[in-house]
Amino acid sequence: MLAQVSSRIKGLMMVITGATLWGLSGTAAQVLFQDKQITAEWLVVVRMMIAGSALLLFAVCKRMAIFSIWTDIKSIVSLLLFGFVGMLGVQYTYFASIATGNAATATLLQYLAPVYIVLYAMAAQKHRPSKEVMLAIVLALLGTFLLITNGSTGELKVPLISVVWGILSGVALAFYTLASAQMLKKWHSIIVVGWGMVIGGGGMCFVFPPFPLPAIRWDVETWLLILFVIVFGTLFAFLLFVESIRYLSPTESSLLSSVEPLSAVIASIVFLHVPFGLFQAIGAACIMVTVLLLSPKKERQSSNSTSIT
């Protein structure tokens, strides 16, 4: 009994730490964009290529057959679609929303993904929405409105372009989740996500090559922030989340990963002094409640899906 409790606590600590690192990586990226003049395109390419390669190397060390996924035609097509549209779509839209706005808003808007997943499932299966789903949708709309206006229609508290990128990030995350569901039934998530990052990052290299390095001041803080985004905010965060599922149910891990937007909001306020009004806080709470309401439904749609932002 004591061993079970200890394992559960270990799983809780893992998923909370991983989700917190994900949220903090968005804040670190905001500093890079606003203070270091690094572009979202450059950071996306570097993050995906390095983190993806590291995940595949980790899989090799775990004696996983990382190339076996390339022997199945159906898996190849799904993997390419997942890498170019799902993984790259999530990464770029999320960082673009941060670069044009702030990490707190970008993360919260991305977490509207469960709404899009549930709506897609209802449309595909021709189901009428339940009262719970209707409540979640109303809360999502209200939360988004309050988040970007702070209760005043006179002006937006967040640039419109950032809001658009944030909403697209949520749509991309929904696609990412649905597109990866079938592959994750057959292949380990580390292999799927690792190849997805390498494919998406490799494709973007042709449009935004990472070399030569951007002409900015490469001081110690810049390198440390980049290192944090790639190593702690991506690689370690993902591995901690995946490992936590050994001790918790996938539903519990998904619900607890909602710590990510909370950590992004707190970090933005404390470290970057991002203004966050009362009505914006209420809007953030509405979105968090939406996630809690719909995460079990999202889980039934894709019980093995693992997100990474």
d(CA 232, CA 237): 6
Least confident of 21-25, 66-70, 237-241, 300-304: 300-304
Q: Residue 297 corresponds to which tokens in the numbers above?
A: 């439904």
Residue matched to tokens 């592959």: 183
The residues, ordered by sequence, that sit 6+ positions from 23 with a Cβ below 8 Å of its Cβ are 103, 107, 259, 260, 261, 262, 263, 264, 265, 267
Q: What is the pTM of this model?
A: 0.88
pLDDT at 303: 45
Domain boundaries along the sequence of the chain: 8-294
Residues 34-63 have pLDDT tens digits of 999 999 999 999 999 999 999 999 999 999
SS (H, E, C) the chain: CHHHHHHHHHHHHHHHHHHHHHHHHHHHHHHHHHCCCCCHHHHHHHHHHHHHHHHHHHHHHCCCCCCHHHHCHHHHHHHHHHHHHHHHHHHHHHHHHHHHCCHHHHHHHHCCHHHHHHHHHHHHHCCCCCHHHHHHHHHHHHHHHHHHHCCCCCCCCCCHHHHHHHHHHHHHHHHHHHHHHHHHHHCCHHHHHHHHHHHHHHHHHCCCCCCCCCCCCCCHHHHHHHHHHHHHHHHHHHHHHHHHCCCCCHHHHHHHCCHHHHHHHHHHHHHHCCCCCHHHHHHHHHHHHHHHHHHHHHHHHCCCCCCCC
pLDDT for 220 beyond 60 = yes
Which of 5-9, 96-100, 131-135, 242-246 holds the top average pLDDT?
96-100
pLDDT at 69: 95
pLDDT for 82 beyond 70 = yes
Mean model confidence pLDDT for the chain? 87
Residues 226-277 have pLDDT tens digits of 999 999 999 999 998 888 877 876 566 666 667 888 888 889 888 888 888 8
The alpha carbon of 64 is separated from its chain's Cα centroid by a whole number of angstroms, namely 25
pLDDT for 300 beyond 70 = no
Mean pLDDT of all residues in 165-185: 91
pLDDT at 3: 54
pLDDT for 107 beyond 90 = yes
Of 243, 242, 258, nearest to 295 (Cα)? 258
